[in-house]
Structure 1
Amino acid sequence: MMWDSNQLPAYKQCAADFEKKNSDITIKITQSGWNDYWTAISTGFISGTAPDVFTDHLAKYPEFSKNGQLVDLAPLIMRDKVDTAAYTNGLYDNWGRDGKQFGLPKDWDTIGFVVNMEMAKKAGVSLADLQNMNWNPKDGGSFEKIVRKLSLDAAGNNANSASFDKKKVAVYGYQNPGAGGMMGQTEWGHFAVSNGFKYQDKPWDPKFYYDSPKLAETLDYLAGLPGKGVSASLENTKSLGADAMFVAKKVAIVPQGSWMITYFKDNAKFDTAWVPLPTGPTGSRATMFNGLADSIWVGSKVQPEAWKWVKYLGSADCQSVVAGYGVVFPAIKGMAEKAIAVQKSKGVDSSAFLTMAKSKTYLPPIADSGSEVDEVIKASIEAVLMNKSDATSALKAANAKANQLVKQ
């Protein structure tokens, strides 16, 4: 089972290739959207109908492994001498804990900005300007200067003009996608980490730093953008969605992950470009470096066959097929470059994501009680972005609650 419809054709091809080599095994792939997906997985665990193999996420697996729902792959990996050094650094280790291994890496992703280049050219903003932005929480740096140029009211005035009417905005320069929960992967993490914030000292560490002043000033900055008329309010964004706003030409720049390259290529009917994230006060760009893996449900009645399939999904044979579709960057070293070449042949330059992978990268926060922590952090960040609370006090209370949850 998987959630990303864009990747379905690649994995159907992997399944067909696998079945040719293993005529006694049939692979049935089910795809379901993100929210429905996790509901189906969780209820499947309880009802005994979960898929044998499923795409797993770093924000979800701590809970699944703690509840004994995942097969420990470590003995199988050792028995079959799987070359775990073939994976891009850090991806394999993310899925291990206390000598156990709960997934084989399938891909990795970083974050970039997708830009409406027609709007940029009209505003006199060059690709080089966009590729070399800097940001700070005091005045927004060159990032905010560009965002102001790209924000237009109904009369065509940009946000630098004294005549700009922020009550009648036709195009927003930038759109933060939302609150982002404990990860803030596309929403605020990249700004906050480039400003000096860190989530925790290391994966599984039972202490979070969401009360950091560096995160507070980042969120206060983002919360202030709608008031300047350069960004839509969180209420509006929640109903419309930042990606749909971009496609509808209501916004000029949105942050998104490399897994969305195909979506924008297929849906944005205008000239676009992917650019790296801005350099922050720390002197570097920053991005979450996330990676998915395939896990086996402990209740599977066909575990030997499920392992064969997971091993194949994690192999160069399958990941080379995935790279050939150019939808995501596979986990095995060198495959991302192949995917980028495929994307380039389709008219998309996605090298910004590789630039980000070579910048300051950080892991998603990994901890027990993740879903409860996520709810707590999300609620407090929403309050900040809706200007119902200042970031310092909201985050202080939320962080205390989060740390309590992890220690339970």
Structure 2
Amino acid sequence: MTSSRKRLAAGLAGVTVAVTGCSAVQGVESDVVDYWLWDANQLPAYQACADAFEEQTGTEIRISQYGWDDYWQKLTAALVAGAGPDVFTDHVARYPEYVTRGALLDLETLEATDDVDPDDYYEGLADMWIGPDGGRYGVPKDFDTVALFYNKDLLAEAGLTEADMQNLTWNPQDGGTFEDVLARLTVDANGVRGDEEGFDPQNVVQYGLGSNGAGSYQGQTEWSQYAFSTGWHHTDEELWATEYQFDEPEIQGTLAWYFGLAEKGYMPPYEVIGSAPDTAQQFGSGQAAVLADGSWMIGTHTSLEGIDVGIARTPSGPVGHPVSMFNGLADSINAQTDTPELAGRWVAFLGSDECQEIVGSFGVVLPARPAGTAAAEEAFAQRGIDISPFTEAVEHGHTALYPLASHGSQVEAIMTPVMESIFIGRQDVSALTRANERINRLFAED
């Protein structure tokens, strides 16, 4: 996974390809539940959960793992064709369209999942999976927040200390102390730093900040943390919104600053990273000294060979503190499963303390239940990794939810080329006002 758990693929509309031979839903009821997920790094943890569940119940969990792009293509095609897994890992930007098309089972219709208690999970995670019809379509499995990874050696070479990475400030006018640090960490081909006279922004060998790209409409790891810290949010309501707010000055000012970092030479321009940037390559090669990225990338970035990695909170903005996007995946059930009760028991187990503590003990992601996250904290600590910049955002309530609304694939299709055009420099941020009008017309036509 990368930015925004990577860019969402096209929606269900227009998909007609059938997938066969990949699921139990077309067969007779059995003691087998097919389960799909996309993250190879999490496969061992969920296999351990599957083994524990099978030992307790006699039900075999058959796990299939696909890469992000293949995952959504195969899953969407399978659901359209009446096939697919019994249970699968789901994303909040995807499930509204699945609900609209009747592809998901309301978990409150099953005995094993009809009494999910939101208080068992970090605040807000369970609420994200209540559909517009009041049904529950997912049980939380983990959560994401965003923090700053930094290269300690490059920091020292710049004459900075780890203390300089703490309590950073930011504003859309001059970038605050955060931009000061990025300028200092940027170096051109002649060895001149970004805050020194004679710096050449067109010939940079070390960027202060790595880039995840333009960020489409979510900006999860690219720009959302800065925009949120102005008090802005993507939509008029956090859950099931009907209006986007890209026409507001806070977001347009934030993005003018953010994309301006590339012009200044402090962040790689579009032509350097392209449409599918590899953040681990940028950070691991020393091309980027600092990287804003999600908690699911902790293991990846801290295991890069030859890089001594520190983690810090994102900078405090005009609201007076850092704000991170807060997102959580969940497990959903295919509405066409032949084994709904078995699938429900598996989903309930996936959302339990027992499974989430198993997952946490692998030190890959941060589970949705506090006990699971405590296990993850311990696992990371044993490797010398302090993940508190990711967990403090949740503990202090300094978060804003991933935008949850219908028409996700259509919003993506509108916003992606506009954001990339601004990043490249072909349009300025005023283009967001026109894009916002197009987006909001989708909801007006509902």
Q: Please report the TM-score for the alignment, with normalisation by the length of structure 1.
A: 0.96
Q: Does the 8 Å CA contact 1:172/1:232 hold for their aligned counterparts?
A: yes
The equivalent residue for 1:388 is 426
Instruction: Give the whole-Å Cα distance in 1 for the aligned partners of 2:322 and 2:440.
Output: 28
Give the deviation of 1:379 after TM superposition: 1.8
Query: Aligned-pair distance for 1:87?
Result: 1.2
- 1:31 pairs, out of 61, 65, 78, with 65
1:260-291 CA-to-partner distances (Å, cap 9, x unmatched) read 11111222421001110000122121111101
- Aligned partners of 1:38 and 1:85: how far apart in 2? 30
**Does residue 1:237 correspond to 2:273, yes or no?**
yes
1:119 is matched by which residue type in structure 2? L
Alignment of 1:74 with 2:118, yes or no, is no
Partner of 2:261: 225
Alignment partners' CA distance in 2, 1:258 and 1:189: 15
**1:164 CA displacement:** 1.9
Alpha-carbon offset, residue 163 of structure 1: 2.6
Q: How big is the shift at 1:257? A: 0.5
- CA distance in 2: counterparts of 1:400 and 1:380, whole angstroms: 13
Please state how far the C-alpha of 1:201 moved relative to its aligned partner: 2.6
How far is 1:334 from its partner?
Answer: 3.6
Q: Does residue 43 in structure 1 map to residue 81 in structure 2?
A: no
Aligned-residue offset at 1:341? 1.8
Gaps of 5+ in 1: none
CA distance in 1, matches of 2:88, 2:146: 24
Q: Report the aligned-residue RMSD.
A: 1.5
Contact 2:110 2:340 in 1 (8 A): no
Instruction: Write the distance in 2 (CA, Å) between the matches of 1:50 and 1:11.
Output: 19
What are the Cα deviations for residues 147-175 of structure 1, in whole angstroms up to 9, with x where unaligned?
01100112222111113222321100012
1:80 positional shift: 5.8
Aligned to 1:16: 51
Q: Which of 379, 401, 416 is the matching residue for 1:342?
A: 379
- In the alignment, what sits opposite 2:154? 119
1:154-213: CA deviation from partner (whole Å, max 9, x where unpaired):
222211111322232110001231122221110111111112311123211211111111
Of the candidates 146, 150, 155, which is equivalent to residue 185 of structure 2?
Answer: 150
Match of 1:275 among 304, 312, 324: 312
> Do the aligned partners of residues 295 and 80 (structure 1) sit closer, same or farther apart at CA in structure 2, a change above 3 Å counting?
closer
Query: Quick one: structure 1 residues 283 and 224, their matched pair in 2 at CA, closer, same or farther if it must change by over 3 Å?
Result: same
CA contact (8 A) 1:176 1:222 kept: no
Cα distance in 1 for residues equivalent to 2:413 and 2:279: 21
Tell me what 2:292 maps to: 255
Pick one of 232, 247, 251 that aligns with 1:197. Answer: 232
Give 1:78 shift: 7.7
After TM superposition, list the pairs within 5 Å mapping 1:132-143 onto structure 2.
132-143=167-178
Residues 107, 113 of structure 2: 8 Å contact kept: no
Query: Which residue identity is paired with 2:399?
Result: T
Q: Deviations over 1:6-51 (max 9, x none)?
A: 111100000001110121x211111111111111110111223311
Amino acid in the other structure paired with 2:119: A
CA displacement at 1:356 relative to structure 2: 2.1
For 1:312, the equivalent position in structure 2 comes to 349
Aligned mates of 1:293, 1:307 — CA distance in 2: 13
Contact 2:113–2:348 (Cα < 8 Å) also in 1: no
* One-letter identity of the residue aligned with 2:261: L
CA–CA separation in structure 2 for the residues paired with 1:175 and 1:81: 43
Alignment of 1:359-374 (within 5 A): 359-374=397-412
Deviates more, 1:260-269 or 1:96-105: 260-269
Contact kept in structure 2, 1:286 and 1:360, CA below 8 Å: yes
> Structure 1 pair 95/19, CA: closer, same or farther in 2 (3 Å)?
same
Deviation at 1:243?
Answer: 2.7
What is the alpha-carbon distance in structure 2 between the residues aligned to residue 198 and residue 336 of structure 1? Answer: 27
Given that residues 357 and 373 in structure 2 are in contact (C-alpha distance below 8 angstroms), is that contact kept between their aligned partners in structure 1? no
Q: TM-score, normalised by structure 2?
A: 0.88
Question: 1:229 is aligned with what amino acid?
Answer: G
Higher mean C-alpha displacement, 301-310 vs 12-21: 301-310
* CA distance, structure 1, for counterparts of residue 87 and residue 303 of structure 2: 29
User: Paired residue for 1:324?
Assistant: 361
Deviation (angstroms), 1:121 = 1.2
| In the alignment, structure 1 residue 354 sits paired with structure 2 residue 391 | yes
Distance between the aligned counterparts of 2:212 and 2:116, measured in 1?
Answer: 39
Check conservation: 1:135, 1:141, Cα contact below 8 A.
yes
Secondary structure of residue in 2 paired with 1:295: strand
Report the equivalent of 1:209: 245
Of 188, 212, 217, the match for 1:177: 212
State the partner residue of 2:440: 403
CA contact (8 A) 2:105 2:335 kept: yes
- Range with bigger deviation, 309-318 or 378-387: 378-387
Give the Cα separation in 2 of the matches to 1:318 and 1:172: 41
In structure 2, the residue matched to 1:186 is 221
Which aligned pairs between 1:91-110 and structure 2 lie closer than 5 A? 91-97=125-131, 98-110=133-145
Q: 3-state DSSP class of the match of 1:226?
A: helix
Q: Does the 8 Å contact 2:182/2:266 carry over to 1?
A: yes
Structure 2 residue matching 1:139: 3-state secondary structure: coil
- Give the drift of 1:55: 0.4
* 2:228–2:323 Cα contact (<8 Å) kept: yes
For 2:154 and 2:189, how far apart are their aligned partners in 1?
15
Q: Helix, strand or coil: the match of 2:141?
A: strand
Alpha-carbon contact 1:154-1:169 (below 8 Å) kept:
yes
Amino acid at match of 1:48: G
Q: Is the Cα contact below 8 Å between 2:112 and 2:345 reproduced in 1?
A: no
State how far apart, in whole Å, the 2-side matches of 1:126 and 1:103 are.
Answer: 43
* Distance (Å, rounded) in 2 between the aligned partners of 1:401 and 1:299: 34
What secondary structure, in the 3-state scheme, does the structure 2 residue paired with 1:256 have? strand
The 1:326–1:102 alpha-carbon spacing in structure 2 relative to 1, beyond 3 Å, is: same
Number of aligned residue pairs? 406
Q: Which amino acid in 2 is paired with 1:188? A: W
Q: Conserved in 2, the CA contact under 8 Å of 1:322 and 1:330?
A: yes
CA–CA distance in structure 2, aligned partners of residues 81 and 154 of structure 1: 60
Percent identity between matched residues is: 38
How far has the Cα of 1:77 moved from its partner? 5.6
